[in-house]
Amino acid sequence: MTPRRKKTMYIILGALAGLGMAVGLVLYALKNNVSLYFTPTQVFNKEAPQGRSFRIGGLVEAGSVKREGDGLTVHFSVTDTLRSMPVVYKGILPDLFKEGKGVVAQGKLEGNNVFRAEEVLAKHDENYMPPEAKDALEKASKAQAAAAASASAVANASPAIAASAVK
């Protein structure tokens, strides 16, 4: 191998090593700063990270907003229509924050299954809903419908079973 080729090879290897280190550092930094979005059902199923900040999203449950005397602390529940998660937030809420409307809160889950929010974001448009939230609400609605159909089928089948047992 000629000295010129050796030099070129060392430069290429050095550049690849530098690029690999840069990519590794970027991925490491993003790992600590990525804030994932979870629904209340996912949080109850322990799919959300424990002891780490994450986002919870859904609808503000009707009748759940309660303000404390200090005027800043607010208790409310976020629901995906299947499960509800109590949230505590101390700060000024966005103007669009209302019961029955979409919300995303960022914070940590406390030991008593209460989500302590550091930031609350309300949806910005009357017709907009994040695709994740829309999918989660649809799945929760389907699960509720399936559970109701199953309960109805059991209730309807019980008299038929009892009648066949009498014969």
Q: Can you give the pLDDT at residue 32?
A: 65
For residue 153, tell me if it sits in a domain. Answer: no
On whether both 30 and 41 belong to a single domain, the answer is no
Q: Greater confidence, 66 or 100? A: 66
On whether both 29 and 43 belong to a single domain, the answer is no
For residue 53, tell me if it sits in a domain. Answer: yes
On whether both 25 and 105 belong to a single domain, the answer is no
For residue 148, tell me if it sits in a domain. Answer: no
Q: Which of 12-21, 39-48, 136-145 has the highest mean pLDDT?
A: 12-21
CATH number at residue 128: 2.40.50.140
DSSP state of 68: -
Going by C-alpha positions, the residue among 99, 54, 52 that lies closest to residue 77 is 99
For residue 166, tell me if it sits in a domain. Answer: no
pLDDT of 130 strictly over 50: yes
For residue 167, tell me if it sits in a domain. Answer: no
pLDDT of 111 strictly over 90: no
On whether both 41 and 30 belong to a single domain, the answer is no
Q: Which residues contact 140 (CB under 8 A, 6 or more apart)?
A: 39, 41, 80, 81, 82, 83
For residue 163, tell me if it sits in a domain. Answer: no
For residue 131, tell me if it sits in a domain. Answer: yes
pLDDT of 166 strictly over 60: no
The domain tally of the chain equals: 2
For residue 62, tell me if it sits in a domain. Answer: yes
What residues make up the domain containing 74? Answer: 37-143
Q: Can you give the pLDDT at residue 162?
A: 46
On whether both 45 and 94 belong to a single domain, the answer is yes
CA-only gyration radius of the chain, Å: 26
pLDDT of 163 strictly over 60: no
Cα(114)–Cα(109) distance, integer angstroms: 6
On whether both 26 and 57 belong to a single domain, the answer is no
